[in-house]
Structure 1
Amino acid sequence: MFRTALRNVSAHKARLLMTAFAVMLGVTFITGSLVYGDSLHRAATAEATAGYERIAVDVAPDGPQAGGPAGIDARTVRTLAKLPGVAAAAGRVDGFAAVADRAGKLIGDGTSSQGGNFAPAADGKDPAYRFTEGSGPTGKDTIALDGTTAAKGGYRVGDTVRVGTDQGAASYTLNGIFRTDGTKLPSGGSLTLFTGATAQKLFLQAGRYQHVELTATPDTDVTRLLSRVESVLPKGTSAVTGARLAQIKANLATHDSDTMSQILVGFAAVALFVATFLISNTFTMLVARRTRELALMRAVGATRKQVRRILLVESLLVGAIASVTGLAVGTGVAGLLQALFAPADAPAAPLVLTPGTVIISLLAGTLLPMVAAWLPIRRAMAIPPVAALSTAEQTAPARAGSLRTGLSAALAVTGTVTVVYGALTTAKDARTVIGIGAALTLTGVIGLIPLLSRPFVTLLKPLLTRLAPVHGDLAARNTVRDPRRTGATATALAIALTLASGLSVLGASASQYLDRATTHALSADYVIKPAGGRQMTAATTEPLKKLPGATYSPLDQSTAYRLGGVSSVLTGVDPAHIGQLLRYDVIEGSLDNLAKGQIAVADFKADQAGWHVGQTLPLQRQNDKPGSVTIGAVYRADEQSDLMPSITAPDSLIARYDSAPTTHAILVATHGGPSRTALAAVTHALGDNPALTVLDQDGIRAQDSSGIGEQLNVFYALLSMALAIAALGIANTLAMSVLERRKEIGTLRALGLDRAGVTRMIRLEALLLGTLGATLGTVMGIFLGWALGRTLQQSVVGYELVLPWGRLGLGVVIALAGALLASFWPARRAARVDIPAAITAQ
């Protein structure tokens, strides 16, 4: 049986090529995803733990120290340095430090902009840093930069560098350029070294350190050293070994890589699912073409079980060959995935091919064809040998498809009702309900596509016959000749378009909501935000006092309040100017009451707590003495808005309870409105600080929506694999159809249909298949996008359904273009059919 299956695969290798290629693509994708994830995981672990081998023990406070000085004092550092087995004790101070390039722009995005202290040992070197140019900082006006940041900024030793911290911005002389490890410099970040005294002034306070790194002398037992360290530590301080720190850092560093790997594997599963339809369709056509051959085998003594085994072995061989090829190609594609998805400054990751990846890829690629081929083989075995030998082509007896059609219709209706129920309900598990309904609907529609193909083609037939009377009519008839084949081919395309359309609808709706939520309530010309999503201090607004004609107000957030027994966050504003900077849609009361020491509350907050204008509420922050405050206004607000506060309070009230509130944004209106001159004036007034970003409304809109656009582009790129497999399915179906209709095509040629006419007919068939799949996929995608969007409307005020006609149309155009490209080879093959040989074929 194995030899027979091997000969059959060799004899039908051209027909199985597309199937093998589809399996190979799916295995390539899943192999590349797994190899990429493992490689990135190992690289992130190596980077995060690099350098911890030099740290024997690390000492740090257990947490914030209330009522006392922060950090560890210099006396403790000296005590630790004198312990037996300690080679050196380096006190470390770390904080936020943003570096500007020569144009004054921030280098990086600010999320990993770090500053630290240079802590030289007795030999004048700090073991954490290896200098390639110059040396460490030697005075309060000097710094050192990591090599990557210096290269991005175009800096050399001796240049002047502008650096911004939470204490403001200043210019420093670059004294050295260094390399370091993952303990100090996160991937993609920047690191600025200051002298110890300067770093303490900027990030902590004089004479204090955030933690202490201890290096051990040779042959020192780290466990014993840890015990000696713990015996001399002051209260509220603890120690941990460098090995334990490395383990903690590794766990934190691999979270993002694990998430991306899971997303890629999910899309690889979609690609394999789409490939299932291509494989099943191919084996259906292959088995139908070989009905007489299989019947002859049965007639000469082969049992039904033996024939079934031969066909399953054929599918196994195809899957095995494709899997091995996909495994090899996928390993190489992992390098491409690193280039596409890994951050530009991410560490170089050697490709990691684990035994688990090999097993999963080979199993997926070999078992999938066998599962997909089972139903066509089972149907073929139902044909009696005598009936198969009596004609040139037989099909398995069908029962009018009533059971399949009825079950599919029931699933589609049940799924649709479930999705609608999930969309309209307010339950917390609404999205789970929608997910279950979507699976049922998709399954039902897949089963109904063969039934839907005939009326769909009938609907489009007048358009085809108007464009090409003869060729359009032939294409329409050929498309509906085998509804199951047409349905299986269109299904692959429909699945890909469903996902792409659904993502487009959700992305467009979310982008419009974010645009409205962030800019609708904004009257100010500019919003000042700290880089990297950090918080500012009240001192940041001081330079704006010197800006002529400017009106500004910080949004000072103060937490840990109990207002009317409800945990609350108060946002302090300048009562005199906030009405000119934010559009408050006041429902009840007046915003002028802020000047009287009263507060204004967002409608959703008032509804949740049952508050109203004129009500006096008890107010207490942490352990302060209790007080009270009166509600002076209620206004409409979006609970998800980044700018509009839930509780607006006068800054004088905040100052009474909180001496150091954090500021997440400063609103500024300039004299004469926004302009390049005004933007430059605001930036200069802030000290040309790279740690602060000055955004106009367009900048805010771009910043808030950029993340959604980037994520959608990644998902579209991943879905392109499913679209490619769907296009292969169309090409394979048409190619097999040409083989089945060889005699028919030869007869048409003999009757006068030229090669161009045959080519046009095949291409019109491809367009019909593409249109059917694209239409169903787009409709289902819009439906599911609407349903998921409805769940957001319950918690996101102002979210509305947006249909991105441009993106949806582009998806349909891409699908049709893919179908047309897929028809080139089958059309060319059909046009070159040998007329005499085709007419005499059996």
Structure 2
Amino acid sequence: MFRTALRNVFAHKARLLMTAFAVMLGVTFITGSLVYGDSLSRAATAKATDGYERIAVDVAADTDPADGGRSAGLDARTVTTLAGLPGVAAAAGRVDGFAAVAGRDGKPIGAGKSSQGGNFAPAADGKDPAYRFTRGSGPTGDNAIALDETTAARGGYRVGDTVRVGTDKGAASYTLSGVFRTDGTKLPSGGSLTLFTGATAQRLFLEPGRFQHIELTAAPGTDVTRLVGRVEPVLPKGTTAVTGARLAQIKANLATTDSDTMSQILVGFAAVALFVATFLISNTFTMLVARRTRELALMRAVGASRRQVRRILLAESLLVGAIASVAGLAVGTGVAALLQTLFAPADTPAAPLVLTPGTAIVSMLVGTLLPMVAAWLPIRRAMAIPPVAALSAAEPTAPARAGSLRTGIGAALALTGTAAVVYGALTTGKDARTVIGLGAALALTGAIALIPLLSRPFVALFEPLLTRIHPVHGGLAARNTVRDPRRTGATAAALAIALTLASGLSVLGASAAQYLDRATTHAFTADYLVKPAEGGQRMTPATTAPLKKLPGATLSPLNQSTGYRLAGTSSVLTGVDPAAIGRLLRYDVVKGSLDCLAKGQIAVADFKAQEAGWHVGQTLPLQRQDGRRGTVTVGAIYRADQQSDLMPSITAPDSLVARYDSAPHTAGVLLATHRGPGRAALAGVTHALGDNPALTVLDREGIRERDSGGIGDQLDVFYALLSMALAIAALGIANTLAMSVLERRKEIGTLRALGLDRAGVTRMIRLEALLLGALGATVGTVMGVFLGWALGRTLQESVVGYELVLPWGRLALGVLIALAGALLASLWPARRAARVDIPAATTAQ
């Protein structure tokens, strides 16, 4: 049986090529996803844990939640005490914080949240073991810094150059004293690291004479566990000692989170691609078995049992899957290497690819079992045909129409799934998304089962248009498309699945983008918003004081003060300038008046007032974590979006906030200039802030891009991943048309003999492909919009103001891409059909 199956595979290798290619693409996707994810995880772990082997014990002061999570630090006396303990070779006090390095163009270098600063802590030999200098040396004066080599290369800086660096305390220019390399304990991926002298770093990041943590290096032969036992008794209260090995483990767990998430996303899309491939495989074996009906019947007639014939056909699918899986495993590993090259951070050395036995086993199992599962139903149907009936047929048996059982089951699934989706969308309970997910699976399955039934009315709808454009070719294409509804449905279903996901993502993305745009920019009436750069922690009055000197400037800080309980409700107060805030933010007041701020009262967002049960005129008892008490009066209630990070939940006059909090967190400064926004005004504001790369100046477009621009980037990534499913669906169209041409060889020869030229045959096949593509694209787009609406409804309960937005441009583009893919898929089958030999075809039995 195995020899027979092997012979049959090579006898029909051209027909099985598309199937093998589809399996190979699916296995390539899943192998590449797993290998890339494992490699990314190992590289991230290696970088995150690099350098901890030199740290025996790390001593750190606990953070204070009441002080915004900041640490009081450790003094120099503690460093000296720890350095004198038995088994301690060296003790280095460390202090770090946010430090943005400006490039030649004044913009920050590297990822903002990963822009770090630290102190150079030389030992007795003048070297710091944490840093290896490649050029120059560590900073020795207050006006000197050192940069990591990646940042220096990005900025084009050399030793001796002047570099502008911004921190939470402001910006200043420094002389570059050296360029260094360091390990993962100091430099985050994609970020920058600036070294200052110890005194400068303490002044910028903490306070003079104090350190955030102390790194202890053990003397040779020292047991780390015993060393911790010596360290803990001498530590001041509120201090924790952790071994370097434990820190490495914690960092490794944190580092793998992002890579695991990316790997899961990739595997999810790989599963979609494989699911789409099942339709191609099943369709191919359906057509192959139909073409070989007489051959299989002859095998039955000479003594082969049903089980033996079934095993031969399953062995064929197993061979195809095994060959395609080996190829997919090799190509997938190469794809993972390409992804690693394209997307690896510039400062991360290339890590070796990780091909685990688990990845190889999963890929081979999926690639070999999938064709067998997909081929089972066509083989089972073929075995139901009696040998005598198959041998007596001059032509292969007519394809089965969509059966009533299949139609009934499909209709039941579609109706049940649709009802579940609508129920989940309208009830919007906590389990609504689960209900919608299950309903979507049922509805999509039912729609796939009903596509054969839908194909006839769909083609009938477009047939008049086709016949008007091409009377002969259009009519032939329409009739050929519905000749086998089951085959048509299976081919279009693969395309429908991909378009369902793409359309649903488009609807959700467009709706979310519009909501975020409205939520963040509707209330913004100022010209500019000045905020700390990504990763920056706080702005001080001294940082933004120069803005007051701008001609005709109107400004108000957003001073956020935490730790309040108003009438027993946890609250955050945002202090503003009562005289200026009305020009800088649009308050849609529903009760009371914003003039209450000038009277020392507060204004409350509607969602906060509704949640707490407050009303205008109510006096609320105030209590802060530090023990201060008082009362405040609600003077106004205004509409606000709970998701907006610009409109405060509680607006208070800055004098009220200052009464209870001497150092509130300035989240930003709203600014209006006398000439309005513009390039010159922006340059003036930036210059007034001291060209500080630690501060970001945003206009309306900048705010919009910051809050909603990332959605488009994420959608583009998902579309790129879905392109694999679209490619496999296009292969299904090509395979279906190619097999159809083979089955209709005599018919095509007859048409040619009657006068249909090669161009006409090519046009007919292309029109069939367009009909298949249009059917799949239409069903997929309708399903995607429906599911996008349903999922969006579940957000409306928690996201006030979310509305359905239909991105007509993206939806139309998806349909056009599907039609273009179908047209490209028809090129090879159309070429084969046009080259059919007329005498040989017309005399074929």
Same fold (TM over 0.5): yes
Deviation readout 1:683-712 (Å, 9 max, x if unpaired): 111111100010110111112122101100
For residue 168 of structure 1, what is the aligned residue in structure 2?
Answer: 170
Alignment of 1:606-617 (within 5 A): 606-617=609-620
Read off the aligned partner of 2:51 and give its amino acid letter. Answer: G
> Any conservation in 1 of the 2:119–2:198 contact (CA below 8 Å)?
yes
For residue 41 of structure 1, what is the aligned residue in structure 2?
Answer: 41
How far apart, in 2, do the equivalents of 1:132 and 1:719 lie?
45
Deviation readout 1:651-710 (Å, 9 max, x if unpaired): 111111111111222100011111222111111111111000101101111121221011
How far apart, in 2, do the equivalents of 1:152 and 1:706 lie?
25
How far apart, in 2, do the equivalents of 1:81 and 1:626 lie?
45
Alignment of 1:135-534 (within 5 A): 135-395=137-397, 401-534=403-536
| Cα shift at 1:564 | 1.7
Deviation readout 1:696-736 (Å, 9 max, x if unpaired): 10111112122101100100000000000000000000000
For residue 726 of structure 2, what is the aligned residue in structure 1?
Answer: 723
| Cα shift at 1:346 | 4.3
Deviation readout 1:473-525 (Å, 9 max, x if unpaired): 11001000000000000000000011111111111111111111111111100
> Any conservation in 2 of the 1:109–1:531 contact (CA below 8 Å)?
no
The question of 1:619 aligning with 2:601 is answered: no
Read off the aligned partner of 1:139 and give its amino acid letter. Answer: G
Read off the aligned partner of 2:255 and give its amino acid letter. Answer: A
Corresponding residue SS for 1:161: strand
Corresponding residue SS for 1:37: helix
How far apart, in 1, do the equivalents of 2:345 and 2:219 lie?
38
Read off the aligned partner of 2:360 and give its amino acid letter. Answer: V
Q: 1:146 to 1:523 in 2, by over 3 A?
A: same
Deviation readout 1:303-357 (Å, 9 max, x if unpaired): 0000000000000000000000000000000022224544454442221100000
Q: 1:65 to 1:618 in 2, by over 3 A?
A: closer
How far apart, in 1, do the equivalents of 2:632 and 2:503 lie?
50
How far apart, in 2, do the equivalents of 1:178 and 1:355 lie?
39
Aligned match for 1:575, one of 565, 569, 578:
578
How far apart, in 1, do the equivalents of 2:582 and 2:621 lie?
26
For residue 759 of structure 1, what is the aligned residue in structure 2?
Answer: 762
How far apart, in 1, do the equivalents of 2:65 and 2:237 lie?
10
> Any conservation in 2 of the 1:497–1:777 contact (CA below 8 Å)?
yes
Read off the aligned partner of 1:9 and give its amino acid letter. Answer: V
Corresponding residue SS for 2:561: strand
How far apart, in 2, do the equivalents of 1:260 and 1:625 lie?
47
> Any conservation in 2 of the 1:604–1:639 contact (CA below 8 Å)?
yes
> Any conservation in 2 of the 1:534–1:664 contact (CA below 8 Å)?
no
For residue 128 of structure 1, what is the aligned residue in structure 2?
Answer: 130
Gaps of 5+ in 2: none
| Cα shift at 1:536 | 2.3
The question of 1:555 aligning with 2:548 is answered: no
Deviation readout 1:376-409 (Å, 9 max, x if unpaired): 0000000000000001344499696111111110
Aligned match for 1:634, one of 637, 647, 655:
637
For residue 51 of structure 2, what is the aligned residue in structure 1?
Answer: 51
> Any conservation in 2 of the 1:537–1:661 contact (CA below 8 Å)?
no
Percentage identity across aligned positions? 85
| Cα shift at 1:548 | 2.0
How far apart, in 2, do the equivalents of 1:343 and 1:415 lie?
44
> Any conservation in 2 of the 1:282–1:732 contact (CA below 8 Å)?
yes
Q: 1:468 to 1:616 in 2, by over 3 A?
A: same
Deviation readout 1:180-239 (Å, 9 max, x if unpaired): 010000000000000001111111111111111111122222222222222322222121
> Any conservation in 1 of the 2:63–2:71 contact (CA below 8 Å)?
no
For residue 685 of structure 1, what is the aligned residue in structure 2?
Answer: 688
For residue 821 of structure 1, what is the aligned residue in structure 2?
Answer: 824
Corresponding residue SS for 1:694: strand
Q: TM-score, normalised by structure 1?
A: 0.98
How far apart, in 2, do the equivalents of 1:280 and 1:400 lie?
16
Alignment of 1:741-756 (within 5 A): 741-756=744-759
The question of 1:736 aligning with 2:735 is answered: no
Deviation readout 1:553-581 (Å, 9 max, x if unpaired): 11111112111221111111111100010
How far apart, in 1, do the equivalents of 2:193 and 2:400 lie?
72
> Any conservation in 2 of the 1:146–1:177 contact (CA below 8 Å)?
yes
> Any conservation in 1 of the 2:66–2:625 contact (CA below 8 Å)?
no
Corresponding residue SS for 1:292: helix
Read off the aligned partner of 2:767 and give its amino acid letter. Answer: L
Corresponding residue SS for 1:624: coil
> Any conservation in 2 of the 1:418–1:437 contact (CA below 8 Å)?
yes
How far apart, in 2, do the equivalents of 1:93 and 1:811 lie?
52
Read off the aligned partner of 1:727 and give its amino acid letter. Answer: A
Read off the aligned partner of 1:103 and give its amino acid letter. Answer: D
> Any conservation in 2 of the 1:299–1:385 contact (CA below 8 Å)?
yes
How far apart, in 2, do the equivalents of 1:486 and 1:241 lie?
65
How far apart, in 2, do the equivalents of 1:623 and 1:238 lie?
24
| Cα shift at 1:582 | 0.2
How far apart, in 1, do the equivalents of 2:564 and 2:535 lie?
23
Deviation readout 1:580-605 (Å, 9 max, x if unpaired): 10000111110001010100011111
How far apart, in 2, do the equivalents of 1:598 and 1:420 lie?
46
Gaps of 5+ in 1: none
For residue 23 of structure 1, what is the aligned residue in structure 2?
Answer: 23
How far apart, in 1, do the equivalents of 2:349 and 2:443 lie?
44
User: Which 10-residue stretch deviates more, 814-823 or 694-703?
Assistant: 694-703
| Cα shift at 1:804 | 0.9
Deviation readout 1:20-72 (Å, 9 max, x if unpaired): 00000000000000000000000000000111111111111233398998111
Read off the aligned partner of 2:479 and give its amino acid letter. Answer: R
Read off the aligned partner of 1:277 and give its amino acid letter. Answer: F
Corresponding residue SS for 2:113: coil
Q: 1:427 to 1:340 in 2, by over 3 A?
A: farther
User: How many residue pairs end up in the alignment?
Assistant: 842
How far apart, in 2, do the equivalents of 1:724 and 1:341 lie?
23
Corresponding residue SS for 1:97: strand
How far apart, in 1, do the equivalents of 2:123 and 2:93 lie?
11
How far apart, in 2, do the equivalents of 1:292 and 1:515 lie?
65
How far apart, in 1, do the equivalents of 2:483 and 2:437 lie?
34
| Cα shift at 1:803 | 1.0
How far apart, in 1, do the equivalents of 2:397 and 2:369 lie?
26
| Cα shift at 1:142 | 0.3
Read off the aligned partner of 2:122 and give its amino acid letter. Answer: P
> Any conservation in 2 of the 1:200–1:206 contact (CA below 8 Å)?
yes
How far apart, in 2, do the equivalents of 1:525 and 1:347 lie?
43
User: Which 10-residue stretch deviates more, 750-759 or 363-372?
Assistant: 750-759
For residue 9 of structure 1, what is the aligned residue in structure 2?
Answer: 9
> Any conservation in 1 of the 2:167–2:536 contact (CA below 8 Å)?
no
For residue 587 of structure 2, what is the aligned residue in structure 1?
Answer: 584
User: Which 10-residue stretch deviates more, 62-71 or 598-607?
Assistant: 62-71
Query: How large is the Cα RMSD of the aligned pairs?
Result: 1.4
Aligned match for 1:783, one of 767, 786, 789:
786
| Cα shift at 1:837 | 1.1
How far apart, in 2, do the equivalents of 1:400 and 1:523 lie?
61
The question of 1:110 aligning with 2:87 is answered: no
Q: 1:114 to 1:496 in 2, by over 3 A?
A: same
Read off the aligned partner of 1:63 and give its amino acid letter. Answer: T
